[in-house]
Amino acid sequence: MSSIAAAAPAVHAHHDDRSFIRKYIFSTDHKIIGIQFLFVSLFFLFLGGLLAMQIRWQLGYPGRPMPGGGILPETMAPGGVILPEYYIQLVTMHGTFMVFFAIMPLLVGVFANYLIPLKIGAHDMAFPRINMWSFWSAFTGGLVMFASLFVPEGAARAGWTMYAPLSARHDLSGAGLGQELWSISIVLLGLSSILGSLNYITTIINNRTPGMTWFRLPLSVWALFITAILGLLALPVLSGAAIMLLFEQILGTHFFDPAAGGQVLLWQHLFWFFGHPEVYILILPAMGMVSDIVANGSRKPIFGYHSMVFALVGIGFLGWVVWGHHMFMSGMNPTLGSTFMVTTMIISVPSAIKVFNWMGTMWRGNLRFHVPMLNAIGFVAMFVIGGLSGVFMAATPVDMPIHDTYFIVAHIHYVLFGGSLFALFGAITFWYPNMFGKMMNERWGKIHFWLTMLFFNLTFFPMHILGMGGHMRRIYDPTQYNFLKPYQPMNTFITIAAFALFASQLIFALNFILSLKWGKKAPLNPWEDNGLEWTLPTPPPHGNWDRPPTVYRGPYEYSAPQVAEDYLPQTKKLPTDREPAAAPVAGH
């Protein structure tokens, strides 16, 4: 971490006399906090993957002893055979870990923290100490959730959506402490997100360096800004719901208990009122970072910058008025369902604008297929498939037969894995040199991308067909139904592909870990990018800038005719550039 590139223009390293604990553990430096989030959430990503492998084993080979399953206790898998009550914990915790402790912190915790101050030219977040609390709150939440795997009756069993009354009543779910720990953990995570979001919003509004006007912000920062607003307003609703659920479990309240006049649908409304903005929390940052990477890899300005911004804002707004499309089958008023159907369909307009703009950016570009670019293109392709299957489910009549089947499993994985995770592989590779001063291995990065692309599609595409055939979403043993028996070879095929997909991720893990020590030393601006973060040494020092940089243009001036090289950094002053309006007197 201490390597500072030799030729650092106009920046000298601060003398850093903070103790090890202040510097790396209870750090208030936004970059360290981002990297802390990175390591922790990659661990949870791996853990979530391990749980998924067990799910796949049971579906591919129902009732057969799992290789290596002998190490699990009798209450989970006696003799390696997965029990139904362990299986439901697996699907619950896989979803929970992946959504709340892997993808969400990877996108927001890591990249909002790391990129926002660097990309807008700020010294740090507006509230560095609150930022630190945000990490430790999420970390504690993660620990609590992890611990719930080991309590007597096992982890939560009601699915990651925690539908009441199953989640609310211990006699129904069969899990006691596990359910309660789930609620506690989610409240902690909600607190973390709120603290993080208020930091990101304040920082972006108030701490942009002179010249960094709103419409010169990189799209990644725009996306993270909209995401922060969604997180700020959606997470408290989830926290409120989780608190009610916790009270239901430990205080005997009756919010979701129909016998005492409560309403089970109330939970679904609260959960999805949070849940749909959450969907966009999980994709907007990916879209933003992909926009940066696609423009860089195409050596062209992003196509339709303003329409990209307005599409982000549009998605952010529409995301609040579509939650009912998760509940078409809940017995809610069909007229209301039609309203939600229409609003949901409208969301495909801004989404399509973004996809066409990415293609417009690549069109006739001077394409550089480096690893981040490959993953970004993978994101666009997979997001189109995931987006299109989303339109199927948005239509109420089509949703009715495919609701709660493997079709929805295929859809969510196309947008969350094919979408967000591909973008993350690209983003991690892209900013890795900035974070650690080392490059990740290019060849292994490409091998990882192609294997992942292949096995991802082999794993998840057939799930559409399973779902059309009526294969239920959380079913323990599909062979118990005659009509699903013909699909069993396909299930086995998916399982083999999923194992190969998991194995391919080990390449990424090894590449990530080994490059920390043995990676090639990163040059100052390895991707020849325009962003402010590349004007600093890699890794950037504490406090980032001695004096705030001045910005003269937007971040996407590639192949500009004024300069010889094919990129034009935001801070480079050309003779035609005017200084931004004089800033007020310095001071924090």
Partner 1 sequence: MAHATATVDVMRPPAPAERGVDVYNLKLGMWVFLASEVMFFTALIGSYIVLRFGASPNPWAQPGKVLSIQITAFNTFLLICSSVSMVKAYASIADGNVKLMKVWLLVTILCGATFVGIQVYEYTHLIHHGFQPSGFREGSELAELAAADPVKYGAATAGLYGSTFFTMTGFHGFHVTCGVISMTYVFIRALRGKYSQQDHRGIEVIGLYWHFVDLVWIILFTIVYLI
Give the span between the Cα atoms of 145 and 157, in whole angstroms: 13
CB of 234 to partner 1, least distance (A): 8
Rule CB under 8 A: say whether 548 interacts with partner 1.
Answer: yes
CB of 547 to partner 1, least distance (A): 7
CA triple 559-528-223, angle to 5 deg: 90
Listed in sequence order, the residues at least 6 apart from 344 whose beta carbon sits closer than 8 Å to its beta carbon are: 322, 325, 394
Listed in sequence order, the residues at least 6 apart from 78 whose beta carbon sits closer than 8 Å to its beta carbon are: none
Rule CB under 8 A: say whether 112 interacts with partner 1.
Answer: no
Cα 302 versus chain centre, distance:
23
CB of 242 to partner 1, least distance (A): 10
Give the span between the Cα atoms of 511 and 506, in whole angstroms: 8
Cβ–Cβ under 8 Å, residues 504 and 456? no
3-state SS string over 196-258? HHHHHHHHHHHCCCCCCCHHHCCHHHHHHHHHHHHHHHHHHHHHHHHHHHHHHHHCCCCCCCH
Rule CB under 8 A: say whether 78 interacts with partner 1.
Answer: no
Among 547, 565, 574, 579, binds partner 1 (CB under 8 A): 547
5-8 contact pairs (CB < 8 A, 24+): 5/437, 5/522, 5/523, 5/524, 5/537, 5/538, 7/524, 8/524, 8/536, 8/537
Subset of residues 187 to 216 that bind partner 1, contact rule: CB under 8 A: 194, 197-199, 201-202, 205-213
Rule CB under 8 A: say whether 10 interacts with partner 1.
Answer: no
Subset of residues 270 to 299 that bind partner 1, contact rule: CB under 8 A: 270
Rule CB under 8 A: say whether 128 interacts with partner 1.
Answer: no
Among 543, 562, 563, 565, binds partner 1 (CB under 8 A): 543
Rule CB under 8 A: say whether 227 interacts with partner 1.
Answer: no
Q: Which residue has the tokens 């507006």?
A: 126
Rule CB under 8 A: say whether 317 interacts with partner 1.
Answer: no
Give phi and psi for 567, each to the nearest 5: -140, 155
Alpha-carbon distance values, 286 to 24, 107, 472 (Å): 27, 7, 29
> Considering beta carbons, is residue 27 or 511 the nearer one to partner 1?
27
CA triple 271-389-378, angle to 5 deg: 100
The contact mask relative to partner 1 for 232-271 (x = CB under 8 A, - = no) is: xxxxxx-xxx-xx--x---xxxxx-x--xxxx--x--xx-
Rule CB under 8 A: say whether 333 interacts with partner 1.
Answer: no
The contact mask relative to partner 1 for 551-580 (x = CB under 8 A, - = no) is: -----------------------------x
Give the span between the Cα atoms of 404 and 215, in whole angstroms: 42
> Considering beta carbons, is residue 187 or 428 the nearer one to partner 1?
187
> Considering beta carbons, is residue 191 or 318 the nearer one to partner 1?
191
CB of 238 to partner 1, least distance (A): 8
CB of 230 to partner 1, least distance (A): 11
CB of 121 to partner 1, least distance (A): 9
Applying CB under 8 A, the residues found at the interface with partner 1 are 122-123, 126-127, 130, 194, 197-199, 201-202, 205-213, 232-237, 239-241, 243-244, 247, 251-255, 257, 260-263, 266, 269-270, 543, 546-548, 580, 583-588
